[in-house]
Amino acid sequence: MKAVVFNGPYTVGVQEVDDPRIESPLDAIVSITTANICGSDLHPYEGRADMPAGSVLGHENMGIVTEVGSAVNRVKVGDRVSVPFNIGCGTCRNCEEGFTSACLTANPEGTPGAGYGYPKMGPYRGGQAEQLRVPWADFNLLLLPRGTDFENDFTMLSDVFPTGYHGTELAHVAPGRSVVIFGAGAVGLMAAHSAAIRGASQVFVVDKEKDRLHLASELGATPIDFSQESVEDVIMDATRGLGADCGIEAVGYQAHDASGEEHPEMVLDELVGVVRATGSIGVVGVYVPEDPASDEAPDGRVQFNWGAAWEKGLTIGTGQCPVKRYNRYLRDLIIEGVATPSMIVSHELPLEEAPTAYEKFDRREEGWTKVLLHPAS
């Protein structure tokens, strides 16, 4: 089959690889109809996360089940499914408590949490390919209505929509509360969409890319271009000097200032400054325990203003999104017309154009906000 293969930093290719096969009675094979390029895919692409050459990329996947193992009894051949980027066994303590993002069984490397096509998350190939093997299929796969309706909306259920929603959950967004979101990439935009669905009274989105800020305004949020104005001044003016009730970090450890210089602590410091005393912050941007390419935090020790955070009594929630906690409810919001996450899609491309898409997406070229790959096209 054809797949998007990582061959080294800034080098991906569409190559022939072996077809996946049933390796366990609990497996299923999914024929991929849509796989997205995620901002997290840029970490290995840029050489900031150690990935072996020859790895198949892609953790935002959906498609049609074409084969199931002998012990699979809920999922059937022909089912249309969303594939959460977390791989959970369904029976360990963390999975049973709803933390499929920290499964204790699925990753043979011994660390909690497993996923598709990503460094240190197990031996599982990604889904930017024609087919994907899904372990523990009955537990992991989310059933979707058959047909092709909502394809571009449903494809967001594997990661970015639940992750954005997870940010609002960690930040305790609720009706009438104000929220400031740093980062207008796909996750930040989905956090803004989720905050509006949850009844936030004010939603601010901070970035410097004009096309992404325009999408934030289309979602009903107030865009703030941090390269042109003080975020703190805007937030304090809009909240009568109190600060936002909630804040969401959707940038991660590669945060850049307006000049392009990297500062891993920058967004955390900004959030501590603009969220009101006793407010809440949700951190869904990726941070890593080691980053040898960083001059400021090679061992993952990001030095932000913890003293001010403590003094203000801020609640800070962090961590990878447990997709299964939210995806069925978000699916139903899409079906009922309450949520339309597809509005952030900028490009739909055949698999063969993935190398060009990675290059343009990585350079943040204007208009390249969310890229969907269709292996069958």
Better-predicted residue by pLDDT, 227 or 300: 227
Cβ pair 298, 291 in contact under 8 A: yes
The H or E element containing residue 216 is helix 210-218
Examine the pLDDT at 289 and tell me if it is beyond 90. no
In the prediction, which pLDDT does 110 show? 83
In the prediction, which pLDDT does 94 show? 98
In the prediction, which pLDDT does 300 show? 74
Query: Cα(first)–Cα(last) distance of the chain, in Å?
Result: 14
Share of the chain above pLDDT 90, in %: 89
Distances (CA, A) of 354 to 13, 53, 115, 371: 8, 17, 20, 9
Q: What integer is the mean pLDDT of 313-340? A: 98
The residue among 341, 323, 376 whose CA lies nearest residue 127 is: 376
The model's pTM is: 0.96
Using left for φ > 0, alpha for ψ between -120 and 50, and beta otherwise, residue 8 falls in left
